[in-house]
Amino acid sequence: MLIRNVIERITGENRLRELARTVAQSCGDAIWTRVEGGIENMSTPEARGYVRGRAGIIVRRQVSTAAQHNEVKPSRHSRLLELTMQSVIDGMIQRKLAHTHVPALKRAA
Predicted TM-score (pTM) of this structure = 0.80
Mean pLDDT over residues 75-97, rounded?
Answer: 94
* Percent of the chain residues topping a pLDDT of 90: 63
pLDDT for the residue 11: 66
Residue 105 lies in a domain: no
d(CA 26, CA 66) in angstroms, rounded, equals 11
pLDDT for the residue 102: 59
Q: How many CA atoms lie within 13 A of 78 on its CB side?
A: 1
Residue 15 lies in a domain: yes
CA torsion sign for 25, 30, 32, 34 is negative
Residue 107 lies in a domain: no
Point out the least confidently predicted range of 31-35, 90-94, 105-109.
105-109
- Please answer whether residues 47 and 96 qualify as being in contact, where contact means their C-beta atoms are separated by less than 8 angstroms: yes
Residue 103 lies in a domain: no
Residue 29 lies in a domain: yes
Number of domain units in the chain: 1
d(CA 67, CA 40) in angstroms, rounded, equals 32
| Tens-place pLDDT, residues 60-71 | 999 999 999 998
Give the structural domain span for 29.
2-97
**Is the pLDDT score of 90 beyond 70?**
yes
pLDDT for the residue 92: 95
Residue 109 lies in a domain: no
Residues across the chain: 109
Q: How many CA atoms lie within 13 A of 66 on its CB side?
A: 25
DSSP letter (8 states) at residue 100: -
